[in-house]
Structure 1
């Protein structure tokens, strides 16, 4: 049987994506460096922390962890900038102006890729890396092959536009490429891109499946979450029904499940359970409680979550049979909690999913609506 070099793992929230790539790297025979690439600085910190956790607190010297933009600039653009420019050491950094609504400039020109100060225009960075690889007769990718044996790409669903073509070049290289992600958590994009929209976000895994034979890709799907139990999983499946997830966490401390709580009881609940507050965005009233936006919370595992719903989520709670538009951010928000997921409402409205119930809050009993998973 043919051994496939590359691995793409589509894995749900709480399935251990970060644990898995760190464990794979730790068990990989060292002959060259190993690189982890993720979109955000928070993602970098998460990978470093997990690797150290598995490796007695040590980040091995052959392991590097950087952001996507650091990868493009440091590993692809700077080493071969002379393929496009006459002078060496000209390019220093990025310019993030014009990420949205940039003026039209002819493709392939210096002003298309660089500012007057020779900073790379971030929106065109991956396209510039591909251009440099072509101009150098493939030297950009060849250099990577000499330095790295394995590249792990986290949050695969965040790649956009020409990133996909760059990924294909990497998949064709001699480097082992191991990508993980979840299209249901496609809340961020590396840049504003018009190209390849049918290959990114929610479409990226279907596209990679279509090229797995030509690009030596093993596709793995994991829909089992160890972060939370069945009730949170089933509620999350109402938010985003396709490819349903399964929750297998069996620990059940007091107040485990999915609930709606009246605003007047928030203080009692906060004192008893100390939940982390989440919201869709800063427009949402959280009664002055500090809160994280759903998008910022991606990657977090939180014991107890309290959500102040915005308008669409309030309507959904009244009738969870309705379809939630732009479900990705909401899905991220409702899959952070380990034990309890609680929504603040102004008035209870029972339905076939939420029934009257009571929970303990220290010396108090609080009336709630509890999610009935069926």
Structure 2
């Protein structure tokens, strides 16, 4: 098995495919690593669905727990003169005014916990100081590492993944840069590859002969017209092919006037979505696009934000370039229909006025 990056379209059964490959793996110990604890549970559920007995050769880890226990702690004394007591989660950037020369406060909080945005950098430095022993130990532990939601990786995470790519471990990374709505950290390192731009790093790795990129272009969730609209935010990417052949009588992408929203909601019972809480949605219970990631609904009703309305009016995608990943996620939650609450003239192709 060679190193791989698999770009999987929304609704393509990415997690199921990963679980199947991990369960069928017969060459040695495997680690399945994903960003959040929710995703860890989802993978456990998929493995359990395939077989109630979880495979003995597979270990399931959240990203930070994996970094702490498998890579940071074993060689922590090569850089620090004390034990790391745990992980200190940081939303932004930790200890911004502490120079690297002050090792202890640079990496650790006052409670002795390592900052989440610096743990990958710490591991890279440990590996350098020990002459590669961090990666050598990992090679002894695992034959293959599967990384789910690869689009969430950022900062020194990418440098660390590159070290693994250069090792004897088989690294299989699965995700979709178009759904890069979260990030493992906000470190300055590798900012050029943040969010959806992580695809550029994948292509660099491929050019260097470190990985092979493949595309899982089929979706079992979205109607083709929904997939087409979601794809339109990333026009240079491979097009998604829908395997959803169900006909309900209200299928595709629509515009709904504000006045008819109550009757539309009563008739179709869509899930209401929005970019974030700053977008008013009347009395409806709404989810933010990012919150809806990983979810599936028969129908979705979207209240567009300001720049989303500009996009609908003009048909120009420059208005939503900064929210393209979140728009992609929101639209691709739906099986049968997506509707936008919008009263004006619309120049986005494919949207039909519902009456």
The two structures share one fold, judged by TM-score above 0.5: yes
Q: Distance in 1 between matches of 2:260 and 2:250?
A: 15
Alignment of 1:1-374 (within 5 A): 5-32=2-29, 34-53=30-49, 55-87=50-82, 90-97=83-90, 99-100=92-93, 102-107=95-100, 109-212=103-206, 214=208, 216-248=210-242, 249-323=244-318, 324-326=320-322, 327-345=324-342, 347-349=343-345, 351=347, 353=349, 358=354, 367=355
- Cα distance, 1:207 vs. partner? 2.7
Instruction: Give 3-state SS (helix, strand or coil) of 1:296's partner.
Output: helix
Q: Deviations over 1:31-73 (max 9, x none)?
A: 32x21111122222222222222x1344323322222111111
Unmatched 5+ stretches in structure 2: none
Q: Distance in 1 between matches of 2:192 and 2:278?
A: 31
- Cα distance, 1:117 vs. partner? 1.9
| Cα RMSD, aligned residues only | 2.3
Instruction: Give 3-state SS (helix, strand or coil) of 2:118's partner.
Output: helix
Asked if the contact 1:295/1:332 (under 8 Å) is kept, the reply is yes
Give TM-score, length-normalised by structure 2: 0.90
Asked if the contact 2:6/2:175 (under 8 Å) is kept, the reply is yes
1:121 to 1:166, Cα distance in 2 relative to 1, 3 A: same
- Cα distance, 1:94 vs. partner? 1.7
1:93 to 1:353, Cα distance in 2 relative to 1, 3 A: same
Give TM-score, length-normalised by structure 1: 0.86
Instruction: Give 3-state SS (helix, strand or coil) of 2:5's partner.
Output: strand
- Cα distance, 1:101 vs. partner? 7.0
Q: Distance in 2 between matches of 1:170 and 1:322?
A: 37
1:119 to 1:279, Cα distance in 2 relative to 1, 3 A: same
Q: Distance in 1 between matches of 2:91 and 2:262?
A: 44
- Cα distance, 1:9 vs. partner? 1.0
Q: Distance in 2 between matches of 1:98 and 1:202?
A: 19
Q: Which has the higher helix share?
A: 2
Q: How many residues align?
A: 351
